[in-house]
Amino acid sequence: MIWTQLLALIATIILEYFVVIAFLRKDYTKLLGYAVLINCFTLPLATLLAGRLPPSSLLLGWLGIEIGVVLVESILWLLLLNQKYGKMLLMSLVANALTAIIGLIVMSI
C-alpha cells in the first residue's frame, strides 16, 4: 500500500532532520523545510530504483543506491546552506546511515 511508503518517508525526514539540526544547530524551521524537500526528491526515486534490482545483485545494488543518495543529498545541502562540503558530506552520510540501519531493523521485525 502506498501509505507504508509515505510513513517511511515521514520517518526518514524526521530522523534525518534530527541529524541535520545536531550538525548545524540553527535555522530549525528552514532546515526542516529543506529536509522535507530533499527527502521527497531522493527517497521515492531510490525506492523505485531498489525495486528494479535483480535478486542476484540486491546488496551491491542497494549499497550503490545509498551511496548515490548520500552524494546527491550532500550536494543539495551544500548548495542550499553554503557550508563546507566535507561537513555536508559527513552529515548526509550519518543521516542516511542512520535511516538505513533503522530501516533494516524495522524490516527484520
Partner 1 sequence: MNRIVLGISLLLIFSFSVAADMIPAGMKSVGYCFTLENQPDYSDYVFIMHGGPLAHGQVMALNQCLSFYKFASPRIYAIKEKSFDLEEFNTLIHSYSQDNFSEQLETYYSRSSFLKSDLQLFSYGLVKDYEPLESVQDVLRIEVLNDKEFKIIKSKAIYTYEDGSKTEHSYINHNVPPPRTNQQVYLYFLGLPIVALIILIYLLVKKK
Instruction: Point out which span in 18-26, 33-41, 59-67, 86-94 binds partner 1 (CB under 8 A).
Output: 33-41
Give the amino acid at 97: A
DSSP for residue 54 = -
Residue 98 CB, shortest distance to partner 1, in Å, is: 21
Interface mask (CB under 8 A) for partner 1, residues 67-96, using x and -? ---------x--xx----------------
Interface with partner 1 in residues 4-23 (CB under 8 A): 4-6
Give the amino acid at 54: P
The full DSSP string for 55-76 is GGGHHHHHHHHHHHHHHHHHHH
* Cβ(22)–Cβ(57) below 8 Å: no
Residue 67 CB, shortest distance to partner 1, in Å, is: 18
104 contributes a contact to partner 1 by CB under 8 A? no
Residue 51 CB, shortest distance to partner 1, in Å, is: 6
Give the amino acid at 6: L
Cβ neighbourhood burial of 73 (10 Å; 0-12, 13-18, 19+)? buried
Residues near partner 1 (CB under 8 A): 1-2, 4-6, 37-38, 40-42, 44-45, 47-48, 51, 76, 79-80, 107
